[in-house]
Structure 1
Amino acid sequence: MIELDEQQRAAQAWFRSLRDSIWAMLEQLEDESTLPGSAGRFEKRVWQRTDHGGGDGGGGEMGIMTGRLFEKAGVNISTVYGQFNPDFAKQINGAAEDPRFFATGISLVIHPANPLVPAVHMNTRMLVTTKRWFGGGVDLNPALPDAAETATFHAAVKATCDRHNPEYYPAHSKWAEEYFWVPHRNRHRGVGGIFYDHLNSGDWAADFAYTQDVGRCFLETYPRLVREKMHRPFSEAERIAQLKYRGLYAEFNLVYDRGTTFGLKTGGNTDAILMSLPPLAIWE
């Protein structure tokens, strides 16, 4: 167990608190659902990581819910540390000089049962090597895009960004547009949002506040989008469209997602890393 500094403790505590709030929010939506079956509840699985060098490497808590509204919802937190593999260290900001690292964060992916309700992804994290920064974002992934819904989501995200820096939304939404592109399918994974990395403005408290607000934006905005459509009936054709879209989602996460690569390269819990994959998907 390493000794965490004040900033590391504050970030770790925030991600845990946010996780607890998100679990409660999603379980409340499960209670409100009129779909058949019992309301889902999160099951927590604790895991420990062994460092590349063989010592203690931290760990995390994986939370999975299988419900009637959310076919699969995964919300994980982790705090890991140790040393990067020498080859991987060269790819990480500030690690080529010294392979030691610390990372704490939250990651979630939600796959609704109703294809009219959008899937969503959100993650935020703090990393420390010889440098210190925040990264993450939130993006909407509807199987059946709705222009009004997309506009509502982006307006909420933009308002969050603008409270901190008017340059954030243009830059971070463009980053998301580029990042969530699936080259082999020649299309985007979803309808965008924001993505940022290596955020170190020189004011740690301001960067942390922005990262916290990204989490709050998800917590406040996603339930509104869910409640708008969760009781609407859907057709078999819409369900098939959803399952086909999930195939695209899985392809991106397995081939291009940085978080997947980071987790696997640093000896994270494989089930927690791959919790983002949908429970059911089809390919043509």
Structure 2
Amino acid sequence: MSDGFEAEKATASAWFRQLRDDIVSAFEGMEDSHQGIGSAGRFEVTETKRSADDGSDAGGGLMSVMRGGRVFEKVGVNISTVYGQLGDAAQKAMAARGVPGMADDPRFWASGISLVAHMQNPHVPAVHMNTRMFWTPHAWWFGGGSDLNPCIEYSEDTAHFHDTQKAHLDPHGADHYPKLKAWADEYFYIPHRNRARGVGGIFMDDYCTGDWSSDFALTQDIGRAFLPAYLPLVEKRRNTPWDDADKDTQLVHRGLYAEYNLVYDRGTKFGLTTGHDANAVLMSLPPLAKWF
């Protein structure tokens, strides 16, 4: 593959930025509309930078984090576009995933959005979403998805989350939703706990049919599904009364989330091994958690 992917890279990067802006606006609007204690939460935005080993520019992004809001206890919506050459460990990881030619030409480019929300009210589920594009001179692919992580599960909430995702994927083919749901069930699993970290969602990685426009359109609809899948659940549960036992249940469940992200999550491993801003990479960790 030649380097003639500049237009596609720019298009993907701009889309992730627009999705970020839409989500940030929607979340701040939810804060404004909630009649809770204190001021409505706002995102603190920090520019992140990645430097190559020789100190040259290697991209970066925006880390947007809200802490201590009326609805959101901690939520991060990060975007990044990074590039350069993969180090030895990252090259080996890519080679193990079947990416050809990395030893000969280890250049890469990656752009995406990553979101994790931890909520004040234990009845409101935590959630994760990300979409991304990865390019090397030898291959390109998309990845991402979203999954719901309630500490107190409501079956109707789970059904709404999945039904909304299915509705966004079905126009791309009836086989996409069941395939991506099964992929999420396998990926968002904690082997050392013998359980899933939540109630699932959709997920894909290394996705490339050879038709960039079609694959990007699918990736966009994974992103577009997020707000209609999630915001109605926040609206429904944010005023539900809760007690200390509910909060304890939430903190223990957050411990599972932290374990997964630190031990198994591919994005965490990639971000840390390629020298991206550690605070941005670890944004997904909850503000408080508890273990037995």
Scaled by the length of structure 1, the TM-score of the pair is 0.97
Q: Any unmatched runs of 5+ in structure 1?
A: none
Partner of 1:24: 25
Query: What do the CA deviations read for 1:230-278 (whole angstroms, capped 9, x no partner)?
Result: 1111121111100000001000000000000000011000000000000
Match of 1:60 in 2: 61
- Which of 119, 133, 144 in structure 1 is aligned with 2:126? 119
Secondary structure class of the residue paired with 2:172: coil
Where do residues 129-208 of structure 1 align in structure 2 (5 Å cutoff)? 129=136, 130-208=138-216
The count of residues paired between Structure 1 and Structure 2 equals 283
Give identity over the alignment, percent: 54
C-alpha contact 1:52 1:85 (8 A) present in aligned 2: no
1:56: Cα distance to partner? 1.5
| 2:108 is aligned with 1:101 | yes
Distance (Å, rounded) in 1 between the aligned partners of 2:86 and 2:70: 40
Correspondence 1:259 to 2:267:
yes
* 8 A Cα contact 1:75 1:107, kept in partner: yes
The 5 Å alignment of 1:18-97 reads 18-66=19-67, 67-92=69-94, 93-94=99-100, 95-97=102-104
Q: 1:20-68 CA distances to partner (integer Å, 9 max, x unpaired)?
A: 0000000011111122111000110001111245422101110000111
Letter in 1 for 2:258: A
Confirm or deny that 1:239 pairs with 2:247: yes
Higher mean alpha-carbon deviation, 108-117 vs 150-159, is at 150-159
Q: Deviation of residue 3 (structure 1)?
A: 9.9
Q: Is the 8 A contact 1:52 1:267 kept in 2?
A: no
Specify the code of the residue in structure 2 equivalent to 1:75: V
User: Which stretch shifts more, 2-11 or 193-202?
Assistant: 2-11
| Distance in 1, Cα, partners of 2:227 & 2:13 | 18
Judging changes above 3 Å, is the alpha-carbon distance between structure 1 residues 3 and 23 closer, same or farther for their aligned structure 2 residues?
Answer: farther
Unmatched tracts of structure 2, length 5 or more: none
Instruction: Tell me the residue number matched to 2:283.
Output: 275
Residues of 1 paired with 2:36 and 2:191: CA distance? Answer: 36
- 1:81 maps to a residue whose letter is Y
Instruction: Rate the CA distance shift 1:186–1:205 in 2: closer, same or farther, 3 A.
Output: same
- Quote the RMSD (CA, aligned, Å): 1.4
Query: TM-score by structure 2 length?
Result: 0.94
Q: Report what 1:14 is aligned to.
A: 15
Counterpart CA distance in 2 for 1:87 and 1:150 is: 38
Q: 1:18 to 1:70 in 2, by over 3 A?
A: same
Distance in 1, matches of 2:255 and 2:165, equals 26
Give the drift of 1:87: 2.9
Deviation at 1:91, TM superposition (A): 1.5
